[in-house]
Amino acid sequence: MATAMAEHWTPSSWQGHDVRQQPPWPDAGVLAAATRELAAYPPLVSPADTDGLRVALAEAQAGRAFLLQGGDCAESFAEFSTENIRASHRLIADMADILAAASGLPVIRIGRMAGQFAKPRSTGEEEKDGRALPAYRGDIVNGIAFDEAARLPDPERMFRAYSQAAATLAHLKDLAASEGSPFYTSHEALLLPFEQALVRRDEPSGRYYGAWAHFLWVGDRTRFPGSAHVEFARGLANPIGIKCGPSLDPETLLRLLDRLDPDHAPGRITLISRMGHEGIADRLPPLLRAVGREGHPVLWSCDPMHGNTVKAATGYKTRPMARILAEVRDFFALCPAEGARAGGIHIEMTGQNVTECTGGAAMLTEQDLSDRYHTHCDPRLNATQAMELAQLLADMLRRSSRGAAAA
Ligand code: PEP
Ligand code: CO
């Protein structure tokens, strides 16, 4: 739509739109002081690296690369350590090697790391033992402990998140250099005052970059028409992801694409389907058809995590491996049936040996969940489960590359 282009964008133009999922900051003055200070801080990623990712994603759109995106649901201050960064990086690298060998394609590695701190919530309050407190929204906002002081949103937490992200990135850069393959970072662009404070204008090109991750995505709860988050993402030069959940209809998706990518720029948009194993067969094909009909260039990626969360009898939020694998299988069958390419995977996982998702070869049961349940938000695959998923993906990629060679 030409009108979308004509509308003026600035890093703060989102403020005139419908802003959801923001914490109830107790003091606007403290928030403003924190964002003013942040606005002077150095960028964490460079325009050149961000552009590099966009070129790589354009390759994936053209069928010449595959995307592997994964990491924590929510990074936490407590789990920050060299060992954890190394373990997650190692796991992504090992999975990428398996996928590359099977597909014969380069695998683009993006971590949900170095900035994935803020969480959208379905309810603003959490109730426990007859008491209601503000929901936990990630360590960048408040503390996970169920007490009043911890749950009070505190803008000062942003500074700790910034330094943790900077240190994580520096270490990831070293690890990537020793492997000889680039590693990119990503997070959900959720806390708009902070995201705005980290926008940097690239003087040579005059373009604006979200400067604390290469790839930013708009979550399923904030991708509605008229959303401030969509308005914010619209003017950035970064590659942008859109989470596509069961409530997204084809018409709304097409309008979002017009808004976020009026120029049909290669590598710009990744659509991350997260329908759930039950809904995907009904929900995804209409979206694939609509996007295909319009000829809008996108990369289709599968998030088999967020539509498959269940509550165990023991009270823990979990995700059964069988459902995760079922959604991945369906995704890889449904895309080609509609003439689209299954081009990537988006998962919540950790290199640590946690017990958060049930099933898999180790046959974790609901009774095992309490052993090592460490996530600050959603349940993650552990390293063994993630490698199992990689093996399943490898089998499917091997079959589809044979299919392509035969065609
Ligand atoms: C997430 O990726 O952690 C998330 C909240 O996803 P969604 O927006 O798809 O629910
Ligand atoms: Co999550």
pLDDT tens digits, one per residue of 190-209:
999 999 999 999 999 999 99
Atom number in ligand 1 closest to CA 119: 5
Q: How far is the CA of 378 from the centre of ligand 2 (A)?
A: 5
| 3-state class (DSSP) for residue 348 | strand
Q: Which long-range contacts (CB under 8 A, 24 or more apart) does 23-30 make?
A: 23/134, 23/137, 23/141, 23/142, 23/153, 23/191, 24/124, 24/134, 24/153, 25/153, 25/155, 26/152, 26/153, 30/155, 30/156
Confidence at residue 6, expressed as pLDDT on a 0 to 100 scale: 58
Q: What is the DSSP letter of 43?
A: P
Give tens-digit pLDDT for 317-333.
999 999 999 999 999 99
Nearest CA, atom 8, ligand 1 = 219
Ligand nearest to the CA of 245: 1
Rounded mean pLDDT, 360-365: 92
Quick check: 1 pLDDT over 70? no
Q: How far is the CA of 119 from the centre of ligand 2 (A)?
A: 8
Q: Is the CB of 219 under 6 A from ligand 1?
A: yes
What are phi and psi for residue 141, nearest 5 degrees? Answer: -110, -55
Q: Is the CB of 274 under 6 A from ligand 1?
A: yes
User: Of all helices (H) and strands (E), which one includes residue 320?
Assistant: none
Q: Is the CB of 306 under 6 A from ligand 1?
A: yes
pLDDT-derived band at 2, boundaries 50, 70, 90: very low
Q: How far is the CA of 218 from the centre of ligand 1 (A)?
A: 9
Q: Which of 274, 346, 376 for a ligand 1 pocket mutation test, highest count of atoms within 8 Å of Cβ?
A: 274
Confidence at residue 400, expressed as pLDDT on a 0 to 100 scale: 83
Rounded mean pLDDT, 232-246: 98
Quick check: 34 pLDDT over 80? yes
Q: Is the CB of 346 under 6 A from ligand 1?
A: no
What are phi and psi for residue 63, nearest 5 degrees? Answer: 90, 10
Q: Is the CB of 11 under 6 A from ligand 1?
A: no
pLDDT-derived band at 143, boundaries 50, 70, 90: very high
pLDDT-derived band at 407, boundaries 50, 70, 90: low
Rounded mean pLDDT, 224-241: 98
Tokens of 303: 């998030």
Looking at every residue in the chain, the average pLDDT score rounds to 96
Give tens-digit pLDDT for 86-133.
999 999 999 999 999 999 999 999 999 999 999 999 999 999 999 999
Ligand nearest to the CA of 242: 1
pLDDT-derived band at 406, boundaries 50, 70, 90: low
Q: How far is the CA of 120 from the centre of ligand 2 (A)?
A: 9
Quick check: 345 pLDDT over 50? yes
Nearby residues of 99 by Cβ (< 8 Å), 6 or more positions away: 66, 68, 105, 107, 390, 393, 394, 397
Quick check: 60 pLDDT over 50? yes
Q: How far is the CA of 219 from the centre of ligand 1 (A)?
A: 5
Q: Which of 243, 280, 303, 380 for a ligand 1 pocket mutation test, highest count of atoms within 8 Å of Cβ?
A: 243
Q: Is the CB of 73 under 6 A from ligand 1?
A: yes
Q: How far apart are CA 263 and CA 36, in angstroms?
A: 33
Report the percent of the chain where pLDDT is more than 90.
95
Q: How far is the CA of 216 from the centre of ligand 2 (A)?
A: 15
Confidence at residue 402, expressed as pLDDT on a 0 to 100 scale: 79
The DSSP annotation for 254-268 comes to HHHHHHH-TT--TTS
pLDDT-derived band at 373, boundaries 50, 70, 90: very high
pLDDT-derived band at 3, boundaries 50, 70, 90: very low
